[in-house]
Structure 1
Amino acid sequence: MATKQSVADEREEQVELGLQLRNGSTLMALAGVAFIGYGIVFLVLNFVGSGFELGVSTLDGMTKADLNPTVAYYISHLHVATAAFIISTGIAVTALSWYGVRQRLTWAWATAVVAAVTGLALALPMHYTADAFAHDWMVHLGPIYVATIVFVVGVVMAYRGLNAAEQ
């Protein structure tokens, strides 16, 4: 027969794990919002900024105006498409985390993780293969690394809460 103290301890542990789930899903959603913001910055810089990515002011000293107009348009086209996918991934991660993970849906947690990891795993390695153009590493990648750290902390916290809920 369980003692009153053990029941109270078990209840307190369940509350703690519930808080971890809620706080973890909130951090995951916040990171998703940061991904959306990063994509919006991509769009803004394309249309009213340098025409290049965050942290890139020129390509080997050439501005967007110095480029062949067809090449400049093609770069713009790719930036808009990239921004669209960053924003859409952010929306998916935010919604899955806020609505699905909070409801203790393991599939929502797994889908949010797979969506974010796939995007990051495909995009980030290219930045380390060659220094083909000059860019400010902190400005260019700093925001996405901060969002990724927040996301990973949230993923771990939410996972602990989800696992406890399933036992």
Structure 2
Amino acid sequence: MATQQSIADEQQEQTELGSQLRNGSLLMALAGVAFIGYGLVFLVLNFVGSGFELGVSTLDGMTKADLNPTVAYYISHLHVATAAFIISTGIAITALSWYGVRQRLTWAWATAVVTAVVGLALALPMHYTADAFAHDWITHLGPIYLATIVFIVGVVMAYRGLSTP
């Protein structure tokens, strides 16, 4: 009888770990979708908004129209390129998480984690080096921090599900 209880306990544990893997990969994929959304907002604001990033309305009181046209175009060019990389990173994270992590592919989990960490590790420190321009911290970085928290929770949950034999 002890063996039947042991088998039942093991099956329950496997079910819970499978659920963690499924839910974790879902959270990772949702965070990827949030990264895509953030990139799309970034792109749209470039063309129909202030011309600057989310949470940035002016540069030292100057609007995009006040800038030298060449400088304004260069800023626009960088915003489009940045948005493209944010969106493509979100697509990669979403696909790796939804199709790879759910299939228990450790390489997909690791690639999604490395992709997000490299992007965030390179992009975020610049925001803390100097106050060269005024921006609203909540609207500028809040969405990315929220998506990152969701991603981290998903990463931990999925890892627990992946780490079982």
Q: What TM bracket, shorter-length normalisation?
A: over 0.9
Name the structure 2 match of 1:56. Answer: 56
Deviating beyond 4 angstroms after TM superposition, the runs of 4 or more aligned structure 1 residues are none
1:36 and 2:36 aligned: yes
Map of 1:22 onto structure 2: 22
Displacement of 1:15 after TM fit?
0.1
Which residue is equivalent to 1:116? 116
Deviation of the 1:2 alpha carbon: 5.9
Residue of structure 1 in register with 2:66 after alignment? 66
Q: Distance in 1 between matches of 2:105 and 2:159?
A: 11
Structure 1 segments unaligned to the other structure (5+ residues):
none
* CA distance, structure 2, for counterparts of residue 83 and residue 2 of structure 1: 58
CA-to-aligned-CA distance 1:88-113 (integer Å, 9 cap, x gap):
00000000000000000000000000
User: Counterpart of 2:147 in structure 1: which amino acid?
Assistant: A
Give 1:3 shift: 1.2
Matches for 1:71-110 after TM superposition, within 5 Å: 71-110=71-110
Compute the RMSD of aligned alpha carbons. 0.9
Structure 2 length-normalised TM: 0.99
The alignment-based identity, stated in percent, is 89
Q: How far apart, CA to CA, are the structure 1 residues paired with 2:2 and 2:130?
A: 63
1:19-66 Cα distance to aligned partner (Å, 9 max, x none): 000000000000000000000000000000000000000000000000
Structure 2 residues not aligned, in runs of 5+:
none
Q: Distance in 1 between matches of 2:159 and 2:120?
A: 20
TM-score calculated relative to the size of structure 1: 0.98
Distance 1:158 1:3 in 2: 29
